[in-house]
Amino acid sequence: MTKNGKRILIALGGNAIKQAQEKGTADEQFKNVSITAEHIVRMIQALGNDDRLIITHGNGPQSGNLALQQDIAKEQIPPQPFDIVGAMTQGQIGYMMQNTLENMLTARGIKVPVISVVNQVLVDRNDPEFFGENASKPVGNFLTEEEAMKMKAEKGWIVKKVKPNAPKPWRRTVPSPDPIANVEAEAIKVLVNAGTVVIASGGGGIPVVQEDGRLVGVEAVIDKDLAGERLAEVVNADVFLVLTDIEKAKLNFGKPTESSIDAMTLEEAKRYLSEGHFLAGSMGPKVKACIRFIEWGGKEAIITSLDKAMDAIDGKTGTHITKG
Amino acid sequence: MTKNGKRILIALGGNAIKQAQEKGTADEQFKNVSITAEHIVRMIQALGNDDRLIITHGNGPQSGNLALQQDIAKEQIPPQPFDIVGAMTQGQIGYMMQNTLENMLTARGIKVPVISVVNQVLVDRNDPEFFGENASKPVGNFLTEEEAMKMKAEKGWIVKKVKPNAPKPWRRTVPSPDPIANVEAEAIKVLVNAGTVVIASGGGGIPVVQEDGRLVGVEAVIDKDLAGERLAEVVNADVFLVLTDIEKAKLNFGKPTESSIDAMTLEEAKRYLSEGHFLAGSMGPKVKACIRFIEWGGKEAIITSLDKAMDAIDGKTGTHITKG
């Protein structure tokens, strides 16, 4: 993909849209998105004319709420499978983000189009996550043992006891397969090349598998940072910026010897990951996505918090991963 | 907007995605979308290299189901307002359509990218539909008088008795304001110019109004044909193809003197509309959208059914509206 200028792929964490303690009203979510958008607009202002920003985001709280609504109403309205739930949250979050970004850019007199696209991500039907009890991503509401066993028997759900001492300790878990490729790569490239701020691969993308030459949606949830890395490849990003709730990744996380990481070479990042410094389902996939980005040929991956993003791009903070 | 070749804007009716008697499972909807997509793919095959197809669609059944799910689950999860419900159905329907179209194009060896975009449509805060009891679009489930009066008192809903003799005769009605402009016009033009089949303005678009220089979502539902006409202007369409469940529009609809219309000039269409030949909320807005398209400068507007679309483009059937 030919380009001039620098391209930055931003992967936004769940707290960019819904705070954990919130119920998820539209007002709450628009307020959070505004805070996020303020930072993004500052980044856009700091960019040159040939630079490009591409955005992806999680959808955990939104898909959880939607799946729960569908489950509660299931006697009246057929619930939609997880691929469609994912697609619906792409519309929901995409709208909130693009509306807010457009408004802020307009207020500053910046004429940059913003658009969210509906976006599928290819995964492998033979991914280990699809087999036996391997599915690793807890979704939806917490269940009693009775409820969990009922859903297991009736619908073949994989259920896991995720909070052993809680009154409702069980939860459905769905496969979280590894993303292979972004399906709508061509259209996304067209938009980015034309100068549009694109919001894509939302919630890790809508998971699809190859089946007799067709792409078919599956009941799964793809990690949004790993899917974001595939998007970074598509748009030929220079910088892969993974935003989370802490300023820097940690060694010996949660132990007395805990320390912040300012920089890691590719080899260091791989070693730390294999040594178990990063939590699975949390910092683990973020570091893995950064490793993959550098191995693909990206210049720099950064892990930091939203409010430090500008400083991190300037090299003042965050955890920086480079080839070394 | 510069262009070579012919551009056709297709506005798909509700039956393109969900049949009235169906509950709306994912399987049912994918099956309907497949039938629709077969016709669209045949149109794409018949087009020249420089020709472009742009698609819009309704979302009545999907937004109705989603609003009902949200209402049933409202004690646990905050329902989202209508702008967000609309955005969610853009993701849902956009995914089903783009996945199905991509699969069919791939199977035929046709390399045309397809993408659905999240899309806002500007309406006027002073539109008469926002005032008093003018709101004209029934949405969501049917209500008893008691339920209707409760929602009116508690939430300020406008409720109307739409089925006088039914056990639940009442329904919420929301404003259906006139679409003024497609907000994401620039990004859509970029995609169409690059040869992408774009699905946009789904469900009539996400309704937004200007408020202190910002675009703010409103609780409304825009007619998808009128919004589709605004999209046709954006992409500089030559043909505006409005698909519905009948092959031709009728004069004296439902009367012994009923007759099919093969062709109307702009003046005839206006006269028939003012004479009340076309039902409000049904054929009325379709004819109105066609009139607007020809007045804007479009070459030809066609009203027909999905299975006759190819023949209608070839001039063999359908109701054709031209400047005359």
CATH top class, domain A11-34+53-122+182-231: alpha beta
Beta carbons of B215 and A91 less than 8 Å apart: no
User: Of all helices (H) and strands (E), which one includes residue A56?
Assistant: strand A52-57
pLDDT of residue B195: 96
A297 three-state secondary structure: coil
Cβ contact B293:B229 at 8 Å: yes
Cα–Cα nearest to B176, from B19, B40, B282, B79: B282
Beta carbons of A87 and B91 less than 8 Å apart: yes
Alpha helices by DSSP H, listed for chain A, are 26-46, 60-72, 82-107, 145-155, 185-193, 224-234, 266-274, 283-296, 309-313
Dihedral, B94, B111, A228, B33 alpha carbons, nearest 10? 20
B292 three-state secondary structure: helix
pLDDT of residue A82: 93
SS3 content of chain B, % helix, strand, coil (to 5): 40, 25, 35
Q: Which range among B12-21, B38-47, B140-149, B312-321 shows the weakest confidence by mean pLDDT? A: B12-21
Given a cut of 80, is residue B141 above it in pLDDT? no
- Calculate mean pLDDT across residues B187-191: 98
Beta carbons of B94 and A87 less than 8 Å apart: yes
User: Which residues, 6 or more positions from A310, have their beta carbon under 8 angstroms from its beta carbon?
Assistant: A39, A42, A43, A46
pLDDT of residue B279: 85
DSSP bridge partners of A7: A52
B-chain residue closest to A104, CA distance: B214
In whole angstroms, what is the distance from residue A175 CA to residue B83 CA? 31
In whole angstroms, what is the distance from residue A50 CA to residue B267 CA? 49
In whole angstroms, what is the distance from residue A176 CA to residue B124 CA? 44
CB burial class (10 A; 0-12, 13-18, 19+) of residue B192? buried
User: Of all helices (H) and strands (E), which one includes residue B260?
Assistant: strand B259-260
Per CB-CB distance under 8 Å, the chain A contacts of B26 are 78, 80-81, 84
* Amino acid identity, position A283: M
A111 flagged as catalytic: no
CB burial class (10 A; 0-12, 13-18, 19+) of residue B285? buried
Residue of B27, B41, B65, B77 for testing the chain A interface, max A β-carbons within 10 Å: B77
Q: What is the pLDDT of residues A102-143, one digit of tens each?
A: 999 999 999 999 999 999 999 999 999 999 899 998 887 788
Residue of B56, B88, B216 for testing the chain A interface, max A β-carbons within 10 Å: B88
Whole-number percent of chain B with pLDDT over 90: 83
The Cβ of residue A281 has, within 10 Å, a number of other Cβ atoms equal to 11
pLDDT band at B4 (very low <50, low <70, confident <90, very high): confident
In whole angstroms, what is the distance from residue B106 CA to residue B46 CA? 16
Per CB-CB distance under 8 Å, the chain B contacts of A69 are 69-70, 72-73, 76-77
pLDDT of residue B235: 97
Per CB-CB distance under 8 Å, the chain B contacts of A92 are 80, 84, 87-88, 91
The Cβ of residue B160 has, within 10 Å, a number of other Cβ atoms equal to 15
Instruction: Kindly report the backbone phi and psi dihedral angles of residue A120, in degrees, each rounded to the nearest multiple of 5, phi listed first.
Output: -95, 150
A15 flagged as catalytic: yes
Minimal C-alpha gap between B211 and chain A (Å): 10
In whole angstroms, what is the distance from residue A125 CA to residue A130 CA? 7
DSSP string, B47-76: S-TT-EEEEEE--HHHHHHHHHHHHHTTTT
Q: Do domains A11-34+53-122+182-231 and A238-324 have the same CATH topology?
A: yes
Residue of A21, A118, A209, A231 for testing the chain B interface, max B β-carbons within 10 Å: A118
- A214-217 vs A206-211, strand pairing mode: antiparallel
- Calculate mean pLDDT across residues B229-237: 98
CB crowding B206-219: b at 16 or more within 10 Å, else e: bbbbeeeeebebbb
A90 three-state secondary structure: helix
User: Which residues, 6 or more positions from A303, have their beta carbon under 8 angstroms from its beta carbon?
Assistant: A242, A244, A248, A249, A283, A286, A287, A290, A318, A319, A321
Q: What is the pLDDT of residues A57-82, one digit of tens each?
A: 999 889 989 998 998 999 999 999 99
Given a cut of 80, is residue B281 above it in pLDDT? no
Pick from B24, B89, B114: CB nearest A78: B24
Cβ contact A223:A128 at 8 Å: no
Place of tokens 């507007």: B301
Minimal C-alpha gap between B92 and chain A (Å): 5
Beta carbons of A91 and B96 less than 8 Å apart: no
pLDDT of residue A155: 82
pLDDT band at B258 (very low <50, low <70, confident <90, very high): very high
pLDDT band at B282 (very low <50, low <70, confident <90, very high): confident
- Calculate mean pLDDT across residues B239-256: 93
Beta carbons of B102 and A183 less than 8 Å apart: yes
Per CB-CB distance under 8 Å, the chain B contacts of A115 are 117-118, 184, 187-188
Given a cut of 70, is residue B121 above it in pLDDT? yes
Joined tokens for residue B177 = 């304001």
pLDDT of residue A2: 55
Place of tokens 């630079």: A51
Cβ contact B43:B310 at 8 Å: yes
In whole angstroms, what is the distance from residue A85 CA to residue B88 CA? 9
Joined tokens for residue B168 = 């639940």
Minimal C-alpha gap between B115 and chain A (Å): 7
A286 flagged as catalytic: yes
CB burial class (10 A; 0-12, 13-18, 19+) of residue A20? exposed
Cα–Cα nearest to A311, from A37, A100, A36, A42: A42
pLDDT band at B16 (very low <50, low <70, confident <90, very high): confident
pTM greater than the 0.90 cutoff: yes
> Which CATH number fits the domain A238-324, given the four candidates 3.40.1160.10, 3.90.1170.50, 3.40.630.30, 3.10.150.10?
3.40.1160.10
A-chain residue closest to B26, CA distance: A80
B-chain residue closest to A216, CA distance: B99
Residue of A65, A69, A182 for testing the chain B interface, max B β-carbons within 10 Å: A69
Minimal C-alpha gap between B133 and chain A (Å): 25
Domain boundaries, given as residue ranges, for chain A: 11-34+53-122+182-231, 238-324
Cβ contact A62:A14 at 8 Å: no
A128 three-state secondary structure: helix
Per DSSP, B263 falls in state E
Pick from B23, B84, B118: CB nearest A116: B118
Q: What is the pLDDT of residues B87-103, one digit of tens each?
A: 999 999 999 999 999 99
Minimal C-alpha gap between B1 and chain A (Å): 15
Minimal C-alpha gap between B118 and chain A (Å): 5
Q: Residues of B with catalytic annotation?
A: 14-15, 137, 224, 286
Beta carbons of B77 and A69 less than 8 Å apart: yes
Pick from B77, B84, B117: CB nearest A116: B117
Cβ contact B205:B220 at 8 Å: no
Question: In angstroms, what is the C-alpha Rg of chain B?
Answer: 20
CB crowding B19-35: b at 16 or more within 10 Å, else e: eeebebebebbbebbee
Beta carbons of B65 and A83 less than 8 Å apart: no
User: Which residues, 6 or more positions from B122, have their beta carbon under 8 angstroms from its beta carbon?
Assistant: B179, B180, B181, B182, B183, B208, B209, B210, B215
User: What rounded mean pLDDT belongs to chain B?
Assistant: 94
Positions of chain A with pLDDT lower than 70, given as ranges? 1-3
Beta carbons of A92 and B102 less than 8 Å apart: no
- Give the ipTM of the model, two decimals please: 0.95
Joined tokens for residue A272 = 């730390």
Beta carbons of B190 and A194 less than 8 Å apart: yes
Question: In angstroms, what is the C-alpha Rg of chain A?
Answer: 20
* Amino acid identity, position A33: V
- Calculate mean pLDDT across residues B252-281: 93
pLDDT band at B2 (very low <50, low <70, confident <90, very high): low
Handedness of CA A85, A91, A94, A99 (dihedral sign): negative
Beta carbons of A80 and B99 less than 8 Å apart: no
pLDDT of residue A14: 73
Minimal C-alpha gap between B158 and chain A (Å): 21
